[in-house]
Amino acid sequence: MNDPGGAAVALRAATLRYGRQPIWENLDLDVAPGERLAVLGPNGAGKTTLLKVLLGLIQLTAGTVTIDGRPPTRGSARIGYLAQQRVFDSDLPIRGRDLVQLGVDGHRLGLPWKRSRQADAAIEAVDAESYAAAPVGLLSGGQQQRLRIAQALAGRPRLLLLDEPLLSLDPASQQSVTSLVDGYCRAHGTTMVLVTHEITPVTGIIDRVLYVAGGRWAAGSPDKVMTTETLSSLYGSRIDVIRIRDHVVVVGEGAGTHHASGGGHHRGGHVSAGYQGDPARRERS
Amino acid sequence: MGLGFLLEQPFAQHALLAAALVSIAAGLISPFVVTRGMSFAVHGTSELAFTGAAAGLLVANNAVVGALVGSLVVAALIATLGARPRERDSAIGAILAFGMGMGILLLGFYQGYATAATNILFGNIFGVSGGQLLVLLALGLIVVVVMGIWYRPMLFASIDPETAEARGVPVGRLGLLFLLVLALTVTGAAQVVGTLLVLSLAITPGAAAQRLTASPLAVAGLSVFFAIAAADGGLLVSFEFTTVKASVFITSISFAIYVAARAAGPALRRRQQR
């Protein structure tokens, strides 16, 4: 597992520490082109940090990371990034269209007077034509999120990084955002890495799960990773994964409660994991 | 003295020109001050331009250069001590209080000119020499050029810093550049309205413009227009009422525009929604 080969994203013994505090260690992971990976774990497990590593904003403490075989470069046009949703103030002087346009040329010098066909196409792709001219701050959370996705897609990325794309959205908006992203990635063969702490709404659109907790990690199909055994070893404490009909419920101290739907399609039948020896010794010292 | 006579005088023409240039600079940065939540930084920088001006008067008999050095030093201090927004305000408060105290001390040494303090605090553009006017012109031009070049990435970084950073915008360095431009603008605006009233040119126009439209370019245009209307309008009115300082009219016009914009804003912006 040393050659990144044709992987869209490849991590080799990737380790990140803040000071001496490990965030995650010896992470080995390949994400194939067109694959969709969900990154799960409790708050502070380094999920967002992983996206920032892929964006080239944070350097690994040890190990390597490549995107399409090359080290990440800051501001790469190949990557579309949806940061965790922030509320736009109602008097923010910017319209939906401007926001999307910034995704195309916001990093370029000059005045923001241009209006590109790329931005128009992205707005069309998320069905936001009817409210793209409105001030962003006056739109609903779901509408804002669609425009932000259009912004991320406007550069026609090959890799889409989504940080909690469904957070604070109502179920209907969650559904529409999920199918929007799913449809786009399918149509364009776009690779997707999606950070979430709730797996339920995205089970239908992901191939694989990377679960990070307590400096350790496990990767594989949702069925293999979301089990009592795997999660208990990750957390180093008793975690119960209960399957009720089509749902998987994760209950335990430190894990919060996640719901995971057991349906969906899976790829690969094994779990790879990054912990050795007695997990209880390495955790909660 | 009639208005027509005054308008033919070089000192009045220079004052109007300097006020217009300073207003263009202030109008351009004003929306960013509002969006980035940096009103207190403007206040802090301008208060300390007072300290700089007092020092400048004492050392070289030149308040403009003193104010420029003062506000640049403050911008650098704010950048180093207050990198994060929350600690920024407290850092500015700490620097501001100390700096004002030093300013009063310095001014105490400057004998014979009790009006000096008033002029620095409340502005006196007619007392500015030809050479100092040139400095103001240069300051205004620098700000206009810098903002013209970096407007778009600055907008991106102000509105959505996280995404901007991921797209390769040097958010941190643009923040420094903005502080620098702010310092230059404050120095210029302080000559027109005084260090205490810089806010009326560096904050109010942008705040008013944002109430009326959400188009970034229209906001910039309106903000510049409002700043010029207030500064030059105030100067013109002061030609008629020579016993009152121009700053009174400038701040009044600026405030009137703001109130009108707040009143008209909601309806206008709602119409934009469609």
Each residue of A16-51: pLDDT tens digit? 988 888 888 899 999 999 999 999 988 888 899 999
Q: Given CB atoms, is A232 within the 8 Å cutoff of chain B?
A: no
Same domain as A212, residue A163: yes
On the question of pLDDT at A175 being above 80, the answer is yes
Chain A contact probe: residue of B28, B156, B173 with most A CBs at under 10 A = B156
Phi-psi region of A93 (alpha: psi -120 to 50; beta: other; left: phi over 0): beta
On the question of pLDDT at A237 being above 60, the answer is yes
Q: What percent of chain A stands above pLDDT 90? A: 44
Determine the CATH number of domain B3-263: 1.10.3470.10
Same domain as A147, residue A67: no
On the question of pLDDT at B196 being above 90, the answer is no
List of residues 6+ apart from A259 with CB closer than 8 A: A198, A199, A200, A247, A248, A249, A250
Same domain as A180, residue A69: yes
Same domain as A109, residue A72: no
Same domain as A129, residue A268: no
In the A/B pair of chains, how many CB contacts fall below 8 A? Answer: 110
* Residues of the domain holding A95: 89-156
Put simply, the answer to whether A110 touches B149 (Cβ < 8 Å) is yes
B-contacting residues of A 160-199, CB under 8 Å? Answer: none
pLDDT class for B1, splitting at 50, 70, 90? low
Phi–psi pair at B198, nearest 5 degrees? -55, -35
Same domain as A133, residue A171: no
pLDDT class for B14, splitting at 50, 70, 90? confident
Put simply, the answer to whether A107 touches B216 (Cβ < 8 Å) is no
Put simply, the answer to whether A112 touches B152 (Cβ < 8 Å) is yes
Single out the residue in A97, A129, A156 at which a domain terminates.
A156
Q: Which of A61-75, A93-107, B80-94 has the lowest mean pLDDT?
A: B80-94
**Nearest CB to A94: which of B148, B209, B214?**
B214
Pairing of strands A36-40, A9-18: unpaired
Q: What is the pLDDT of residue B31?
A: 95
Residue A56: give its domain's CATH number. 3.40.50.300
How far from B146 is each of B17, B27, B29, B179, B185, CA to CA, in Å? 20, 14, 10, 12, 12
pLDDT in tens, B120-156: 777 777 776 777 788 888 889 999 999 999 999 999 9
User: Is there a domain that residue A4 lies in?
Assistant: no
Q: What is the pLDDT of residue A281?
A: 36
Single out the residue in A102, A127, A156 at which a domain terminates.
A156
Q: Give the count of domains, chain A.
A: 2
Q: What is the pLDDT of residue A101?
A: 94
Single out the residue in A106, A125, A156 at which a domain terminates.
A156
Q: What is the pLDDT of residue B153?
A: 96
d(CA B6, CA A264): 81
Q: What is the pLDDT of residue A65?
A: 95
Same domain as A175, residue A231: yes
Cα of B219 to nearest chain A Cα, Å: 7
Cα of B177 to nearest chain A Cα, Å: 14
Q: Given CB atoms, is B115 within the 8 Å cutoff of chain A?
A: no
User: Is there a domain that residue A84 lies in?
Assistant: no
Mean pLDDT of A175-179: 89
Cα of B220 to nearest chain A Cα, Å: 10
Same domain as A216, residue A97: no
Phi-psi region of A284 (alpha: psi -120 to 50; beta: other; left: phi over 0): left
User: Is there a domain that residue A257 lies in?
Assistant: yes
- Within 10 A of B165 (CB to CB), how many other CB atoms are there? 22
Q: What percent of chain B stands above pLDDT 90? A: 39
Mean pLDDT of A127-137: 92
On the question of pLDDT at A282 being above 50, the answer is no
A-contacting residues of B 66-105, CB under 8 Å? Answer: none
Angle at A230 between CA A225 and CA A236, to 5 degrees: 140
Searching chain A, which residue's CA lies closest to the CA of residue B215?
A94
Put simply, the answer to whether B156 touches A106 (Cβ < 8 Å) is yes
Same domain as A105, residue A25: no
Contact A58, A47 (CB under 8 A): no
Mean pLDDT of chain B: 86
Searching chain B, which residue's CA lies closest to the CA of residue A99?
B156
User: Is there a domain that residue A285 lies in?
Assistant: no
Q: Given CB atoms, is B151 within the 8 Å cutoff of chain A?
A: yes
Residues of A in contact with B274 (CB under 8 A): 133-134
Q: What is the pLDDT of residue B180?
A: 92
Same domain as A206, residue A117: no
Put simply, the answer to whether A91 touches B210 (Cβ < 8 Å) is yes
User: Is there a domain that residue A2 lies in?
Assistant: no
pLDDT class for A278, splitting at 50, 70, 90? very low
pLDDT class for A146, splitting at 50, 70, 90? very high
Same domain as A47, residue A100: no
Write out the DSSP string of B68-83: HHHHHHHHHHHHHH--
ipTM entry: 0.86
Same domain as A163, residue A138: no
On the question of pLDDT at A246 being above 70, the answer is no
Put simply, the answer to whether B214 touches A93 (Cβ < 8 Å) is yes
Put simply, the answer to whether B169 touches A99 (Cβ < 8 Å) is no
Amino acid in position B186: V
